[in-house]
Amino acid sequence: MSIAANISAIKEELGNSEVKLIAVSKTKPVESIIEAYGTGQRIFGENMVQELVDKYEKLPKDIEWHLIGHLQSNKVKYIAPFISMIHSVDSIKLLQEINKQAVKNNRVIDCLLQIYIADEDTKYGLDFSEAIELLRSEEFAALKNIRIRGVMGIATLTDNQRMIREEFYELKTFFSGLKETFFRRDSHFNEISMGMSGDYKIAIEQGSTMIRLGSTLFGTRSKK
């Protein structure tokens, strides 16, 4: 199927739900993004800063770019002028740098805390206690140019549906706890970014508000 057909199939599946589709275009050429853009898709996700900046420069300026991959502090400055959301905040140090660059650009940058939910050692993210510690810290309270919009998580890569369901359930439950404790009066804390091509149906069932789909829309990626 074409990219356009893939997107409309997913849009149809989402129907009237509030779930937002992040089209993960990493490793794919700008032509593929233009095809997706032609269907009305405006939110795209990338995981490498250089690639993201290159694509940003070449493509229409009403695209909302989301960074979904691990971000090094020294690269924040390249995306700070235009990034719509950073899904992968995993330390106070990174958040401080995002805030600093946001100040320089006279804007507020939306961020998600990446929470470690998988049963794998290789994934980035904060565990539950680290996330709470971050939100309680004085360093965090001082940051005025970032806005925490919610959480992001990546489930274990497994065929075990029950395990994936449990991980997403835990993330949703953790989100609700954070909302109650830290963001009770903040209506902007409302996003749960979970679900990829292999597990987005379970993620939606468990309360995802943003699914990040790459291969389902653009076809499989060749390994680098």
Ligand X SMILES: *Cc1c(COP(=O)(O)O)cnc(C)c1O
Residues near ligand X (CB under 6 A) are 24, 26, 47, 68-69, 154, 196-198, 212-216
Nearest residue by C-beta to ligand X?
Answer: 214
Nearest distance in Å: CB 222, ligand X? 12
Nearest distance in Å: CB 180, ligand X? 27
Instruction: Please say which residue, 101 or 216, places its beta carbon nearer to ligand X.
Output: 216
Phi, psi of 193 (to 5 degrees): -90, 100
**CA–CA separation, 118 and 164 (whole Å):** 8
Nearest distance in Å: CB 68, ligand X? 4
**CA–CA separation, 101 and 38 (whole Å):** 32
Q: What is the distance in angstroms between the CA of the first residue and the CA of the last residue of the chain? A: 24
173-181 long-range contacts (CB < 8 A, ≥24 apart) are 174/115, 174/128, 174/131, 175/150, 175/151, 175/207, 178/131, 178/132, 178/135, 178/151, 181/132, 181/135
Instruction: Please say which residue, 45 or 134, places its beta carbon nearer to ligand X.
Output: 45
Nearest distance in Å: CB 114, ligand X? 9
Unique residue bearing structure tokens 């790459």: 214
**CA–CA separation, 217 and 25 (whole Å):** 9
Instruction: Please say which residue, 55 or 212, places its beta carbon nearer to ligand X.
Output: 212
Instruction: Please say which residue, 198 or 207, places its beta carbon nearer to ligand X.
Output: 198
**CA–CA separation, 111 and 113 (whole Å):** 7
Nearest distance in Å: CB 24, ligand X? 4
Rounded (5°) CA angle 56-15-3: 45
Closest CA to 85 of 103, 71, 104: 71
Instruction: Please say which residue, 105 or 156, places its beta carbon nearer to ligand X.
Output: 156
Instruction: Please say which residue, 23 or 131, places its beta carbon nearer to ligand X.
Output: 23
Nearest distance in Å: CB 211, ligand X? 9
